[in-house]
Structure 1
Amino acid sequence: MSTYSDDSKHLQLQIAARQAAEDERLAAEQFERGVISEQQLVSAMDATEMAVKHAIRHGVSRRDLPAA
């Protein structure tokens, strides 16, 4: 794969992981307000973890990703 393709793929994976982390943050706020269930919060947390692990498996540096 070319450097451009690698960079593009890594950027897409970073964006996906950051979006999952933002969704998790919003889910935590909603959970605290009683809007969503604990299971929905856990699902959001799992999605962030999966997105981060997927990005790492494809060569994205841990420092470029949200904590999971």
Structure 2
Amino acid sequence: MTPFGWRCVCALFGILMVPVCYAFMRKISRNTWIASFAAALMVFDFMHFTLSRIGTRDVIVAFFIRCCPGIR
């Protein structure tokens, strides 16, 4: 429960969100190029970069929302 711990965990989830974004778009579009483009957009998105560095819970919540299957 230190500032370094919060930032480290959020940075880890921010890094893990890139392959999750790739897998999500690959499943939706069934196209490798579109999935790669979506992952590249996630890498170069400054809002995602900022949120994963300042230690807020938004990145962790977004990671688990993106990992969940759709509610039926």
TM bucket (normalised to shorter chain) is 0.3 to 0.5
**TM-score, normalised relative to structure 1:** 0.43
- Which one has the largest radius of gyration? 1
**TM-score, normalised relative to structure 2:** 0.41
